[in-house]
Amino acid sequence: MKYKVLIDPQAKQDLKEIFSYVAAYDSIPSANKLLDAIERALYKLEEYPERGHVPIELRNTGIKKYLEIHYKPYRIIFEIEGGLIYIHSVLDGRRNVQEILRERLFR
């Protein structure tokens, strides 16, 4: 079964912020290259969604519907529902991911 990846508005905003940060502190070509690589990782989920795992911050909560993959240092948080994969967040793993997930997933 092939899945369809949908990127929600919050994850799109995450990608814009990553691009802006890298463009400002490195270069626009580097930012474009990074964004392309992250997007390739996202769309690989269409064929291999099971390669994700429950984020460590959620393991003790009993919530197992959210999974993640890594494109170091970025953590891609997603959910599989039927034939759809919803990308919820693309987070820099060096940030306080637990706090960000609490704000976003437990509203």
Average pLDDT over residues 29-54: 94
Domains of the chain, each with CATH number or no CATH: 4-105 (3.30.2310.20)
Q: Which two tokens stand for residue 68?
A: 């993640």
For the whole model, what pTM was predicted?
0.89
pLDDT tens track for 46-88: 998 888 999 988 888 888 899 999 998 999 999 999 999 999 9
Q: Which two tokens stand for residue 50?
A: 């099971």
Note the pLDDT of residue 94. 87
- Cα(39)–Cα(87) distance, integer angstroms: 11
Measure the CA angle with vertex 57, ends 51 and 62; round to 5°.
85
The pLDDT mean for the chain works out to 91
Q: Which two tokens stand for residue 6?
A: 């949908």
